[in-house]
């Protein structure tokens, strides 16, 4: 499973990328706001750090304007994936932009039918938001599983990008199901390395090592 990092924090992206933990980046207007930087400037910087897809989201609501914004964003770097909302106009824009050979990430997906439409429109990625479904007492990971079955049934090439990842448990769940990609904030990715038994075992080893009175260096 590919790891995308969901942030516009350049320092966090660089740190994780150096560890080999970043296959791509996803951003959105909220993350750009949090960064406090110009969208074109920060997106260009991220694209220079990461080799994989970097999702940059349009803000227009009408198809023609989405297409214009998408073309502009795609001009930032060859690894830009234009991020479009899963609306009828977003699907129209997806069809045009994907037809031009641009990567497209269709976002805010909450149903199998929506995912099916995005695949038909030529989306490179579909982004089901599992955490937001969990927030309204629905099983977000179940949606990933259902989309996996449908895409496999018909051989769609659209990659399932599990989004709105809130915890390490979400990551393990979507990996078991077979999501192609997951995107998560930097802190969630870092938490994947944590386990209380690892901490306890390390503390025990170090306590015993101290008793030996030895040094390695």
**pLDDT tens-digit map of 154-203:** 999 999 999 999 999 999 999 999 999 999 999 999 999 999 999 999 99
pLDDT band at 130 (very low <50, low <70, confident <90, very high): very high
Q: Establish if 217 belongs to a structural domain.
A: no
pLDDT band at 206 (very low <50, low <70, confident <90, very high): very high
Q: Which long-range contacts (CB under 8 A, 24 or more apart) does 61-66 make?
A: 61/87, 61/89, 62/89, 63/89, 63/90, 63/92, 63/93, 63/96, 66/90, 66/92, 66/93
Between CA 16 and CA 7 the distance in angstroms is 11
Strands 24-26 and 125-128: unpaired
pTM of the model: 0.95
**pLDDT tens-digit map of 33-49:** 999 999 999 999 999 99
Q: Provide the b/e sequence for 162-184 (b: ≥16 CB within 10 Å).
A: bbbbbebebbebbeebebbbbbb
Q: Establish if 113 belongs to a structural domain.
A: yes
Closest CA to 165 of 148, 146, 190: 190
Q: How many CA atoms lie within 13 A of 165 on its CB side?
A: 32
pLDDT for residue 41: 96
In the predicted model, what is the mean pLDDT of residues 62-79?
Answer: 98
Q: Establish if 180 belongs to a structural domain.
A: yes
Q: Establish if 155 belongs to a structural domain.
A: yes
User: What is the CATH number for 100?
Assistant: 3.20.20.70
In the predicted model, what is the mean pLDDT of residues 6-18?
Answer: 97
Q: What is the mean pLDDT of the chain?
A: 97
pLDDT band at 18 (very low <50, low <70, confident <90, very high): very high
Under DSSP, is residue 162 helix (H, G, I), strand (E, B) or coil? strand
The boundaries of the domain holding residue 180 are 2-212
Tokens of 157: 């090439």
Report the domain count for the chain. 1
Catalytic positions: 83
**pLDDT tens-digit map of 74-128:** 999 999 999 999 999 999 999 999 999 999 999 999 999 999 999 999 999 999 9
Q: Establish if 92 belongs to a structural domain.
A: yes
């Amino acid at each position: 499973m590919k790891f995308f990092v969901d942030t516009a924090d350049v320092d966090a992206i660089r740190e994780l990328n150096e560890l080999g933990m970043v296959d791509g980046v996803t951003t959105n207007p909220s993350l750009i706001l949090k960064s406090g930087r110009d969208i074109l400037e920060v997106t260009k910087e991220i694209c220079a750090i990461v080799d994989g897809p970097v999702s940059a989201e349009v803000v227009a609501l009408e198809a023609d304007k989405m297409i214009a914004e998408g073309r502009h964003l795609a001009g930032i770097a060859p690894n830009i994936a234009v991020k479009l909302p899963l609306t009828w106009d977003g699907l129209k824009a997806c069809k045009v932009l994907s037809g031009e050979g641009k990567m497209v990430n269709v976002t805010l997906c909450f149903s199998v039918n929506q995912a099916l439409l995005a695949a038909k429109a030529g989306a490179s990625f579909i982004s089901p938001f599992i955490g937001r479904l969990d927030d309204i007492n629905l099983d977000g990971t179940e949606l990933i599983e259902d989309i996996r079955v449908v895409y496999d049934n018909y051989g769609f090439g659209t990659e399932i990008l599990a989004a709105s990842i809130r915890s390490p448990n979400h990551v393990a769940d979507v990996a078991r199901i077979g999501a192609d990609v997951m995107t998560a904030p930097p802190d969630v990715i870092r938490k994947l390395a944590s386990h209380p038994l690892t901490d306890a075992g390390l503390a025990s080893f170090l306590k015993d090592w101290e008793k030996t009175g030895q040094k390695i260096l």
